[in-house]
Amino acid sequence: MRGRPGSAAQSARRGAGHPALSQPPASRHVRRDSRPVTPRVAVTLGDPRGIGPEIAARALRDSIDAHIVVIGAEDQIATVPATDRVSTGTWRASDADEGAGRAIRAGRIAGHAVERAVKLALAGEVDAIVTGPAHKHALHLAGFPFPGHTEWLAELAGGVEVAMMLATDTLRVVLVTTHVPLRDVPALITTERVVRTGRLTLDALDTWWGIERPRLAVCALNPHAGEAGLFGDEDDRVLRPAAEQLGAAGPLPADTVFVRALRGEFDAVITPYHDVGMTAVKMAGFGRGVNVTLGLPFPRTAPDHGTAFDIAGTGTADPGSMRAAIELAIRIAARSRART
């Protein structure tokens, strides 16, 4: 790891009194220096009770061409290879507190780490962020009332329109709806919402992946894409007009669209709800998948798994997805800077 010593961490440690941190700008910082610069990436460790700290340490053990700023509990960031470290509190695994109190402390450490990473990104102190796995219930208890990182990051960035992408080397899926009950999905799927998600996807594939003419497919909501209305009319009434506006294929049945994408026919698949997209991408590359938030004024990636409390501390957690998330963040940041 390399970079200008202390640039991000020194700014972060100045805290809320620093103008760039207390009042983060809403727009992307444009760099006018065309010289090659090492990407600067903030990595949050996630819930201190989970596998985030250990997979970050193992993922960063091998050399990586980036200026890494690790953010999390003071006693955990010390063990993670990094250029700079920013503390959001102290976590001691031997503390006796249990139950809600312990969860609240964990949620605060994880939540403040995400907030600090976003402030650094909006202030131009880092070029991308990678978020470690956090526990939603702990975050809620600690006062961060969001259904997931995607919605939370959108709010922190000024209420921007975002979408969740899951990506492997062979498949990319983007979700139209995320963390909502399945029974609510049909009412939430509108032509306008699908089109917005598709446009975010097209822009990201162009600017972040360098694909000049992205090929999209829209995954159907109902079995057999509704079978001419026998199994529901949403595919013909809602999804087909959206696909036409986007110049995308579909809607195509879920039992074939991902196979076609894996064979190289599509660059991304727009999926109507969480589990249909997540299941496909995890089957395509569990342990290598990356969560990417589209629409933010900075790149954000994350591993494709949760906190895994049951194996935390055992040394058996696979750091592959975290490493993939960091590497993808670096590539996107480098490409974004090259375009400015």
CATH of the domain at 166: 3.40.718.10
Helix (H, G, I), strand (E, B) or coil at 88: coil
Clarify whether residues 128 and 215 are in a common domain. no
Overall number of domains in the chain: 2
68 inside domain:
yes
pLDDT of residue 1: 54
Query: Would you tell me how many other CB atoms lie within 10 Å of the CB of residue 69?
Result: 28
Residue 256 located in a structural domain: yes
> pLDDT value at position 225?
84
Note down the domain range covering 250. Answer: 162-295
Q: According to the model, what pLDDT value does residue 179 have?
A: 86
Sign, CA torsion 105/107/110/112 = negative
Q: Backbone dihedral region of 104: left (phi > 0), alpha (psi from -120 to 50 degrees) or beta?
A: alpha
Closest CA to 330 of 55, 40, 98: 40
Residue 82's pLDDT is 94
Asked, for residue 30, whether it belongs to a domain, the answer is yes
Answer yes or no: do 218 and 75 share one domain: no
pLDDT in tens, 20-57: 333 333 333 333 344 457 899 999 999 999 999 999 99
Q: Same domain for 83 and 45? A: yes
CB 184 within 8 Å of CB 221: no
DSSP state letter for 150:
H
Q: Are residues 62 and 152 in the same domain?
A: yes
Q: Is 10 helix (H, G, I), strand (E, B) or coil?
A: helix
Residue 255 to residue 176: CA distance in whole angstroms = 18
Residues 40 and 142 in one domain: yes
Residues 92 and 168 in one domain: no
pLDDT < 50 positions in the chain: 2-35
Residue 300 lies in a domain: no
Cα of 210 vs its chain's centroid, Å: 19
Mark whether 36 and 154 lie in a shared domain: yes
Residues 9 and 114 in one domain: yes
Q: 32 with 17, same domain?
A: yes
Q: Among residues 56, 55, 50, 51, which one has the least CA distance to residue 69?
A: 56
CA distance linking residue 198 with residue 204, whole number of Å: 10
Question: CA–CA separation, 67 vs 57, rounded Å?
Answer: 15
Predicted pLDDT at 100: 76
| Whole-number Å distance between alpha carbons of 84 and 298 | 20
CA angle centred on 91, ends 85 and 93, rounded to 5°: 130
The token pair at 77 is 């960031």
For residues 58 and 205, state if they share a domain: no
Q: What is the pTM of this model?
A: 0.84
> Is residue 168 domain-shared with residue 149, that is, in the same domain?
no
Are 191 and 286 within one domain?
A: yes
Number of H helices, E strands in the chain: 14, 11
